[in-house]
Amino acid sequence: MKIEKCTMREYDEIVKDIVDFWGSDRTLHSHHPYLIYEFGDTAFVIKEQGQVIAYLFGFYSQTDSLAYVHLLGVREKYQRHGLGLLLYQNFIDIAKSKGMTKIKAITTATNAKSIAFHKNRVGMTLLGQPNEEGVNVVRDYSGANKHRVVFEKRIDN
């Protein structure tokens, strides 16, 4: 499958069909056009017959040598076909070419699907300390009492 840079037309399609990617609109607030306007070199899509079926929006840190995956979405009927991993590998390859040494991403402690994907498929480590359910979280990562699972992986070896 071909990976392409995301355009505003494709971004608009993603936002319009957000429930098809995420099962709800819970991440809609995290989608913003600046991800295309300002970070378009790290915003990617995979399409089938002209329709976006998977996307990754990322950017490079301004304070560390790392590439951050902000959003990864795959339409429900295309999940478990390796598209998320394909987008991740593309992002890692580009990040390495820019001299980045790590990749990072976050999710909530209740998102077992995302945690399993990042640990088992991407090979990322969970930072932080175990919460009450035994899931490693970084306390207050997203603000006061907003603990997050923070994933990290070295990519420079």
Domains (range + CATH), the chain: 1-100 (3.40.630.30), 102-157 (no CATH)
Quick one: 72 exposed, middle or buried, by C-beta within 10 A (0-12, 13-18, 19+)? buried
Q: If DSSP codes are grouped into helix, strand and coil, which group holds residue 112?
A: helix
**Rg, Å, the chain Cα set:** 15
**What's the pLDDT tens digit per position in 21-33?**
999 999 999 999 9
The span from the CA of 137 to the CA of 109, in Å, is 7
- What's the mean pLDDT when you consider all of the chain? 96
Is the Cβ–Cβ distance between 18 and 27 less than 8 Å?
A: yes
Given this model, what pLDDT does residue 157 score?
65
**What's the pLDDT tens digit per position in 89-146?**
999 999 999 999 999 999 999 999 999 999 999 999 999 999 999 999 999 999 999 9
Of 38, 96, 103, 26, give the one whose Cα is nearest residue 64. 103
